[in-house]
């Protein structure tokens, strides 16, 4: 059998996020070129660039900050003045709809070739690059958690999953490795079902998933906490060889468990059984009559009871598990609170939205770790979105022809400093008075402009000052800076 070489977008080649974003723009423009013939006007299918893509992501984050990700776009742009002003400032609703349709993450010329070997190829490059940069910019703490996320999706996808316990029920399963204290997502893997023969065919056994996710933290003496779907005695022993400890609940059908740990007859409520074998501790705890919780730990080697639990008499291993098990659930909840996901029929966009949600959480963790101000997450999200769009607004403010007057006036506040100085040195032309348009809708032309902000204004909106008052205000800096 001929050896199959992994594609050029291997994460080792896409080590820089800037390299990927340039490819991202290239792939999107490839698709735009393929659909351009369907549009009557060239400007309706204009190619994009990196600055505009960042502005597009800004609008996704802004909609998430307002918890408006599932609202109709017409409500966000507000054609009757009841929308959010910044959406109209950044781009038109028509352009946003066009971009969200045309965004692509893979090379269309090689897509059919790699689809034979990788079911995940439409977004493999983005995902690998994102995970690589998550690992490059953070060192996880002493406790990490592995669990599953399920971004909702009901469209056509060969590896869509149904999980009854999840709020969305149907979606694409993601296995993340998350810092249990800071909720930073350090590693991720997508469940893509049974892959074809080739470089991406891997085992989907839960223990093998944990081994692959934990590989970047081998020999770091971290602890991994998982639920009973992942736990296995052989996995615990394997991780010990890699200098990692493990704490997790165990399903009762494991053959290595003695019958006394599984059987609950005759056992009192809040009672515990302990077993010790080769440095591993097994715990069987009865939280309520007729029900037990079985836990295995390679971290705790004693039968100590947590006295702070009072009459419940929980073992310390159970208490430790309860503290560290919620890392992924908390991250999932934070993503859902200010979600950027929009309704889509394309499953790669679901992964893209999930990466944006996680990227925002990770960036805030890094921001706090660098000693910056700890903002509330909604405020941080709005601040992040503004930083992404400021360059695009400055560029758009240079060409406002054809836009509504109020939009032109608002965009001029984002003019680059050099352009402001140039415009202030040129004698004013006859223009529409902004005050008249705002107050009455009357189109009154004027040769005058404000000396401070250079906005056109007619004499009916001017407040006259005598020379003495004007000179005093000028010297005090009341009007001019």
Q: Token match 């698709």: residue?
A: 31
Say how far apart CA 243 and CA 263 lie, in whole Å: 33
Q: Which residue has the tokens 């109709």?
A: 72
Per-residue pLDDT of the chain (481 residues; tens, 9 = 90+): 333 334 434 444 334 567 778 888 999 999 999 999 999 888 889 999 999 999 999 999 999 999 999 999 999 998 777 788 899 899 999 999 999 999 999 888 777 777 788 888 899 988 999 999 999 989 999 999 999 999 999 999 999 999 988 888 999 999 999 999 999 999 999 999 988 888 888 999 999 999 999 999 999 999 999 999 999 989 999 999 999 999 999 999 888 888 888 998 889 999 999 999 888 999 999 999 889 999 999 998 888 999 999 999 999 999 999 999 999 999 999 999 999 999 999 999 999 999 999 999 999 999 998 888 889 999 999 999 988 899 999 888 888 777 777 787 788 877 776 655 555 444 556 777 877 877 777 778 887 777 677 778 888 788 887 877 777 766 665 554 4
Distance set, CA 334 to CA 64, 138, 354, 481 (Å): 11, 19, 12, 43
Separation in Å, CA 320 to CA 143, 249, 255, 323: 10, 12, 25, 5
- Given CA atoms 165, 123, 66, 371 in this order, what sign does their dihedral have? positive
- Rounded distance between C-alpha atoms, residue 240 and residue 171, angstroms: 34
Question: 51 φ, ψ to 5°?
Answer: -65, -40
* 298 vs 317: CA distance, rounded Å: 10
CA separation for the pair 354, 167 (Å, rounded): 16
Give me 366's structure tokens.
């890094």
Residue-by-residue DSSP string for 321-368: HHHHTTHHHHHHHHHHHT------S-HHHHHHHHHHHHHHHHHHHHHH
What CA–CA distance (Å, rounded) separates 364 from 332?
15
Give the chain's largest Cα–Cα span: 99
Give CA–CA dist 147/188, Å, rounded: 10
Say how far residue 198 (Cα) sits from the centre of its chain.
30
Q: pTM of the prediction?
A: 0.83
Under 8 Å between Cβ of 192 and 119 = yes
Determine contact, residues 212/203, Cβ cutoff 8 Å: no
Determine what percent of the chain falls in helix, strand and coil, rounding each to the nearest 5: 45, 15, 40
């Amino acid at each position: 059998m001929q050896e199959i070489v992994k594609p050029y977008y291997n994460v080792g080649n896409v080590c820089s996020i800037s390299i990927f974003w340039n490819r991202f723009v290239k792939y999107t423009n490839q698709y735009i070129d393929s659909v351009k013939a369907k549009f009557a006007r060239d400007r309706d299918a204009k190619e994009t660039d990196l600055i505009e893509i960042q502005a597009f992501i800004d609008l996704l984050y802004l909609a998430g900050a307002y918890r408006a990700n599932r609202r109709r776009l017409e409500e966000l742009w507000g054609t009757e003045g009841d929308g959010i002003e910044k959406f109209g400032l950044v781009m038109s609703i028509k352009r946003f709809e066009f971009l969200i349709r045309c965004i692509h993450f893979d090379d269309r010329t090689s897509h059919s070739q790699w689809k034979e070997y990788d079911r995940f190829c439409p977004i493999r490059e983005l995902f690998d690059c994102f995970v690589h940069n998550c690992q490059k910019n953070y060192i996880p703490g002493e406790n990490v958690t592995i669990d599953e996320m399920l971004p909702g999706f009901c469209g056509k996808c060969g590896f869509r999953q149904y999980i009854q316990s999840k709020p969305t029920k149907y979606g694409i399963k993601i296995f993340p490795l998350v810092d249990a204290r800071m909720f930073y997502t350090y590693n991720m893997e997508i469940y893509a079902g049974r892959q074809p023969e080739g470089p991406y065919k891997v085992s989907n056994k839960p223990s093998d998933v944990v081994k692959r996710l934990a590989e970047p933290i081998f020999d770091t003496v971290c602890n991994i906490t998982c639920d009973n779907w992942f736990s296995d005695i052989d996995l615990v022993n394997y991780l010990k060889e890699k200098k990692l400890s493990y704490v997790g609940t165990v399903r009762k059908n494991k053959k290595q468990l003695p019958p006394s740990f599984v059987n609950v007859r005759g056992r009192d409520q809040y009672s515990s059984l302990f077993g010790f074998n080769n440095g591993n501790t097994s715990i069987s705890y009865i939280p309520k009559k007729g029900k037990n919780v079985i836990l295995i730990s390679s971290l705790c080697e004693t039968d100590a009871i947590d006295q702070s639990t009072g009459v419940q008499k929980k073992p310390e291993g159970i208490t430790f598990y309860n503290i560290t098990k919620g890392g992924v659930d908390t991250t999932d909840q934070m993503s859902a609170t200010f979600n950027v996901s929009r309704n889509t029929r394309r499953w790669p966009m679901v992964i893209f939205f999930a990466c944006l949600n996680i990227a925002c959480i990770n960036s805030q963790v890094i921001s706090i770790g660098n000693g910056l101000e700890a903002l509330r997450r909604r405020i941080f999200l709005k601040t992040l979105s503004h930083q992404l769009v400021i360059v695009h607004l400055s560029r758009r403010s240079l060409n406002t022809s054809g836009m509504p007057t109020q939009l032109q006036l608002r965009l001029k506040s984002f003019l680059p400093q050099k352009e402001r100085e140039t415009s202030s040195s040129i004698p004013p032309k006859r223009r529409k008075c902004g005050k008249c348009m705002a107050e009455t809708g009357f189109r009154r032309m004027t040769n005058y402009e404000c000396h401070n902000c250079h906005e056109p204004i007619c004499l009916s909106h001017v407040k006259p000052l005598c020379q003495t008052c004007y000179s005093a205000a000028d010297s005090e800096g009341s009007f001019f800076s």
